[in-house]
Structure 1
């Protein structure tokens, strides 16, 4: 899509609206203090433009809403399960599907099946819930992403790529028999929504085959990744998003999916695989943690909406507009001189908090402070992706200090207009001009797990 040459519009029209509440700056200041400077703890009714996440907050189509009325809510053997299962195989290639309430349900089951105590799981940068489930199962996560992924200024087109040399070094250090699988995310969230190339995924596939290691796919944003391959990788310009998505999935052995993102539903996920023995183990565990293997924590109507959402998610005009809106916001911020992660990602624009707030040391959580300041300025809710999200070392108790200290402006699918993006960009510009007034933060409450969800903070004085 060449946004510079001509205007474009979303490939849909609005059929229903949800009114938004406007608040005053003083009301927002009181709200953020009450929330402990954590945007996750703000009531949604006090938020004007909600860019906290793209998970489960997209707008479903008229076809999906119509499908909800065809929900078969039978406890066992729901007709909607079979439609969903067939859609997963047709569009994503996997032979077996186990529904889960959302992606982390699939992560939990897969980790328990494949991981033994003392294992190592390499991946192209961690994701919070994925890493935690791996650790709870007894594994150590090892980052094998290319170095460019840790540099927000780099324009490397495939920052989600795996550094094969790092993968090989890990195998030599611990032994390939201690690596149950390589975990590959398409459009790596924590790197700024950055894609992996098809060529690199084929290299990883070859490495896994040579070392008798499984290749597991976190396919939450696979359609967005396919778009970047189509636009940036030789030999794919004339292929459809649907074809590229299938090819990506077909290179892997199993997948976890949070359907609340690319698949355009408000709830749901699945674990998919090609190995019947893994499928049998997954069916045994899903009954313990989620529900019967033909619903797994999802209502029949939600499985129907998911089956339809899968078909819509791989349509070229949809994904082009989805990524195009992210690109619109990112380019607008770059024109304003705002430091962001380059290239612009597929689901969000990531602000470089350390560049915007250089006076705040990383152990005072500049990304968390910036997210709170943006809410106070205009009622825009965003989220931190830096030291708070990274957590603490189990061994030392010290905070992890990632090279990327980011604020994520995440665009829900088919929800906001370009005018909303203009409001967001103008707010970021205002806050950046007043950056010297923003103070660092310290914890007043820190949960044991995934502290970014429920942790509370207060400003560091002085």
Structure 2
């Protein structure tokens, strides 16, 4: 029997008109932005796949929640609703709200990381590593080797290599490892998930050595979906139950509510250790605000609480993953080089293979993202040598094996027709890929350079019209 097609598990109540610029207008906008898609004005973008962070469409229930937000400076009712949602869905005892995920990363790194420490993780994330390094730590990648190969087909490509982790513990000593930072899913590997078995094994190994396990839980619901789909024994388990078991193999988490929690701003730091909570509560006042609002308004805490409950709806998350695959399957069929298998929140184009005529020092992922915007008005994000920054010892560019362009799908925002437009543009660019020129960096910020760096083409034009 042929599998029937499905539709979005929601209907549209409001629409926002999109601006479609001419090729010449896009060229001018790109030049003004220094060929950095982060610096484009949103009004100049047709389909915005820069990020899924804070770009979700909220439900009618979430919009209604905004109206009952309690904006009390202390003891907000909305805070208690958020706390209840986190405890019920994720299972942690203690919660502190922050303005977004990096606020939680800052608190955790200041409290746990000191000079000379090593923080192992399953591939780095930009802001997470920056906070660890600013507090004197050194990030150590302990992800399985296959995660660095865009063509390796594995169900759980985000898994930690237990031998790498064990060797690091033996080499530097458990006392110099404040925690393991376990991302579920792994953004920089292409949105790849971690298996439940691997989470359990990492937690057990760390317990043996007295090391905490802290999740980057930003896209944890997507990870739970992959477990349900791929790991034996979970096919008939509700997403909310898988999620609760996942968090049982951790000591706490940082969370950007702007992704899986379906809101436009906000995050939290959660944990089970009372002493760490007490220290965190004291520090949150310095950087975020009162422990009962952190960096959030009451209305945003209400919307996040509602979004947390909506995020674990099985129909919602199935559609979310399937829409990403809808785009990815078209690109695979056309022979587009990309990270496989298709991950949870985005399609990651393999820019090194796509633009195989460019050296990595010519910033191929940055060039491809710029060319995509120029071709169709679709905004994507570089995730390669620019995002990787420089080696703090040598000053040389870090050269990751993965040089990618991320096409990030916002939640509940676009239809599959929009995905068709994106696919057509990528496929046409691939057919004329050797016309795309490399870039040079004209301005380089010292930290997290990909946000504000500026570029220009090494030749007269980035792409022939």
Report if TM-score (shorter chain) is over 0.5.
yes
Q: What are the superposed Cα offsets for residues 3-37 of structure 1, whole Å, 9 maximum, x if unpaired?
A: x8331111000000000001001110111111110
Q: What residue in structure 1 maps to residue 414 of structure 2?
A: 416
Partners of 2:319 and 2:145 lie apart in 1 by: 30
Q: How does 1:392-431 map to 2 (within 5 A)?
A: 392-431=390-429
Q: What residue in structure 2 maps to residue 276 of structure 1?
A: 274
Q: What residue in structure 1 maps to residue 84 of structure 2?
A: 86
Deviation at 1:251, TM superposition (A): 1.1
Runs of 4+ in structure 1 deviating by more than 4 angstroms, as ranges, are: none
Q: How does 1:299-378 map to 2 (within 5 A)?
A: 299-378=297-376
Specify every segment of 5 or more residues in structure 1 that has no aligned partner in the other structure, as ranges.
none
The count of aligned residue pairs is: 460
Q: What residue in structure 2 maps to residue 153 of structure 1?
A: 151
Deviation at 1:211, TM superposition (A): 0.6
Q: What are the superposed Cα offsets for residues 293-335 of structure 1, whole Å, 9 maximum, x if unpaired?
A: 0000100000000000000000100000001100100001111
> What TM-score, normalized to structure 1?
0.99
Partners of 1:46 and 1:6 lie apart in 2 by: 37
> What TM-score, normalized to structure 2?
0.98
Q: What are the superposed Cα offsets for residues 122-141 of structure 1, whole Å, 9 maximum, x if unpaired?
A: 00000000000000011000
Partners of 1:178 and 1:423 lie apart in 2 by: 50
Partners of 1:130 and 1:252 lie apart in 2 by: 17
Partners of 2:335 and 2:392 lie apart in 1 by: 39
Deviation at 1:461, TM superposition (A): 2.9
Partners of 2:320 and 2:127 lie apart in 1 by: 25
Is 1:104 the counterpart of 2:91? The answer is no
Deviation at 1:241, TM superposition (A): 0.5
Matched residue of 2:97: which SS?
Answer: strand
Matched residue of 1:407: which SS?
Answer: strand
Q: What residue in structure 2 maps to residue 253 of structure 1?
A: 251
Matched residue of 2:189: which SS?
Answer: coil
> 2:458 aligned to 443, 457, 460, which one?
460
Q: What residue in structure 2 maps to residue 383 of structure 1?
A: 381
Q: What are the superposed Cα offsets for residues 110-163 of structure 1, whole Å, 9 maximum, x if unpaired?
A: 001111110000000000000000000110000000011000001111011000
Q: What residue in structure 1 maps to residue 120 of structure 2?
A: 122
Partners of 2:44 and 2:209 lie apart in 1 by: 52
Q: What residue in structure 1 maps to residue 463 of structure 2?
A: none
Q: What residue in structure 2 maps to residue 25 of structure 1?
A: 23
Deviation at 1:224, TM superposition (A): 0.1
Is 1:295 the counterpart of 2:298? The answer is no
Matched residue of 2:269: which SS?
Answer: strand
Partners of 1:326 and 1:148 lie apart in 2 by: 22
Partners of 1:7 and 1:424 lie apart in 2 by: 21
Matched residue of 1:408: which SS?
Answer: strand
Q: What are the superposed Cα offsets for residues 337-387 of structure 1, whole Å, 9 maximum, x if unpaired?
A: 111110000000000001110001001110000000000000000000000
Partners of 1:137 and 1:250 lie apart in 2 by: 28
